[in-house]
Amino acid sequence: MIMASRRSLWLAAFALAFSAVAGAGHAGETERIQAEKPSPDKPLGVVELFTSQGCSSCPPADAFFAELATKDDIVALSYHVDYWDYLGWKDTLSRKENTERQNDYMRAFGSRSVYTPQAVLNGRAHVNGANRGEVDGALARMAKSGEGMRVPVKVSRTSDRVIIDVGDAGAGPSDAHVVIVYFEPPQTVKIAQGENSGRKMTYWNAVTGIQTAGMWHGKAQRYELPMSEITKKGGCAVLLQSVGKDGMPGPILGAAFIHKPPNKAQDL
């Protein structure tokens, strides 16, 4: 009877210890998953799609991009370029500055030519923008390898201003530009000529302007913008982007939406 009691106590103690170890392991796994989960001030990544209404290869990329643009953990920006306009249809959303940004990325990546649809991910790599597996896979790999959004960017508002709080980099990079990107609300375009003649396409987050709001030097810093500048635009995002000595765009370290218009397309 005494031996049975001791055996019961030993089994109970063993079960308790095993439960504690298993619980600690489960808690650690939960913490790891939570740490990897994107937050509002640290999204999964930034997707910059270079596209054109005159490119026959672009509609699948534009459709996939529309899905990305509705996600809360992706800062998705679409740059319509102008070098396909000669094919018979002038892209209604194209801008020379968008083509220049793509050319800057080309030089930064050491590439010899530009193409559409091209998706630049976190300012670090480029893939075919219509390839869902490559885009999703690259963003996931970057997030795990420390090439994702490493610096928190938080946006708040008052009645007359927008406040952008950029966090501390710790032992990471020490210099970057605070870049403000303006874009259009989603809009539907009827393409009458060119390679996509007869199509009716909805385009999301088409970029209309880019400006540098300031410099960041690795330490937590606050930036302010007048609310009037933000509200008169369709949408607005902030990118914390490193820039090379030659002025070429580099890795994007942090990002956030300042203003994201409703997900309702307008017909043009």
In tens digits, the chain (268 residues) has pLDDT values of 333 444 444 444 444 443 443 444 444 443 333 344 556 679 999 999 999 999 999 999 999 999 999 999 999 999 999 999 999 999 999 999 999 999 999 999 999 899 999 999 999 999 999 999 999 999 999 999 999 999 999 999 998 999 999 999 887 778 999 999 999 999 999 999 999 999 999 999 999 999 999 999 999 999 999 998 887 778 999 999 999 888 899 999 999 999 888 777 666 5
Asked if 50 contacts 129 with a C-beta cutoff of 8 angstroms, the reply is yes
Q: What is the DSSP letter of 206?
A: B
Q: Which helix (H) or strand (E) holds 50?
A: strand 45-51
Sheet holding 200-203, edge to edge: 200-203, 187-190, 266-267
Q: Are strands 249-259 and 235-243 parallel, antiparallel or unpaired?
A: antiparallel
Name the nearest CA neighbour of 101 among 156, 170, 179.
179
CA 201 → CA 58, 73, 187, 190, distances in Å? 11, 24, 8, 7
Tell me the pLDDT tens digit for each residue of 89-122: 999 999 999 999 999 999 999 998 999 999 999 9
- 187-202 in b/e form (b: 16+ CB < 10 A) is bebebeebbbeeeebe
Q: What is the pLDDT of residue 245?
A: 84
Residue type, 22: A
